[in-house]
Amino acid sequence: MAAPAAEKAAPKAGAAVAEDEDTSQSRTCSPYLPVGIILCVIACAGLLMYVGWAHFVDLLFEAVEAAEHKWIQALVINSVLVIMIVCCLPGPAFCIILDGFFFGFVKGFLLGFVAEFIGYMICVSLARTCFKARMRQWMLESALLSEMLMVCEEDSTGKFLVLFRFISLPVWAKNYAIGMLDLEWLKTILIFLPAETFYCGIFSYIGSKSYIIADAIRKGDTQKAMNSFSGVEVMIVCVSILGMVLMVLLGWREYCIRREAIAEGAKSESVPLAGVKKSTV
């Protein structure tokens, strides 16, 4: 009977050794990728600080306008958009406006949405793999980010997370916060869709109308610039802005309610501990 037991134990030991080798290899290889990404973030932030945001916007617009082919324009704009999202830099909304400006509403919306989705998936993948421990430690060091993470972790249904995407917070903070949650990939993607569809539609529409107005002003036709917005379009924009404000307010309301519930729960847990300490003294 001992021989079969030894034979069964041998494969388990071999599997354990293989798992240890895989984990050791991942530990030796994983530090290089975060270091490279951190250096990329520092380089991009340093470039923006050195050049200046206004000058960077001018350079980006001139580079896109000087490109001869449409696919080069799309590649430049949306590559910058993905880098801004992943590297925690400001300006994703401006890139979506540029998509609408150079490609029109429909194509600009599709390009901006795809670029936002690629940046979102990269952020979530980084938060769940090589940045998992470091990202959680970094977020817990910040009072605002740790509070945001705790509030998101309290939602088991995912309904609040949909509203959370509408809140006026930096895109990278929302992406990495959702990446830290233990969610299925399907739910992670579904949470992304409503808010980004809305915001990409708004900003690409602004860009498309900006092109029409700028073209009319260049030609000296101010009347065409004034008539570029019809009454129906103005009504749609006003209703969309009102809906956005209501969604943001509803998201903040739910966020504050959950934050207060977490604070009350922490106080209720600390009170019995204090009573036990007094009784022991």
For residues 144-157, give the mean pLDDT: 71
Q: CA–CA separation, 223 vs 217, rounded Å?
A: 9
Token pair of 224 as six digits: 């065409």
Q: Where are the domains of the chain?
A: 34-147+154-189, 222-255
Contact, 115 vs 82, CB < 8 A?
Answer: yes
Q: Is the pLDDT of residue 81 over 60?
A: yes
Q: How many residues does the chain have?
A: 281
Q: What is the dihedral of CA 125, 127, 129, 134, to 10 degrees?
A: 160
CB count within 10 Å of CB 236 equals 12
Q: Is the pLDDT of residue 91 over 60?
A: yes
Contact, 177 vs 139, CB < 8 A?
Answer: yes
**Which residue is it, tokens 């910040």?**
142
Nearest to 110 by CA among 85, 72, 137, 74: 74
Find the largest Cα–Cα distance for the chain: 96
pLDDT digits (tens, 9 = 90+) for 194-244: 889 988 998 998 888 888 777 776 766 666 656 666 666 677 777 777 877
Which of 39-43, 68-72, 93-97, 269-273 is predicted with the least confidence, judged by mean pLDDT?
Answer: 269-273
pTM to 2 decimals?
Answer: 0.71
Q: CA–CA separation, 41 vs 57, rounded Å?
A: 18
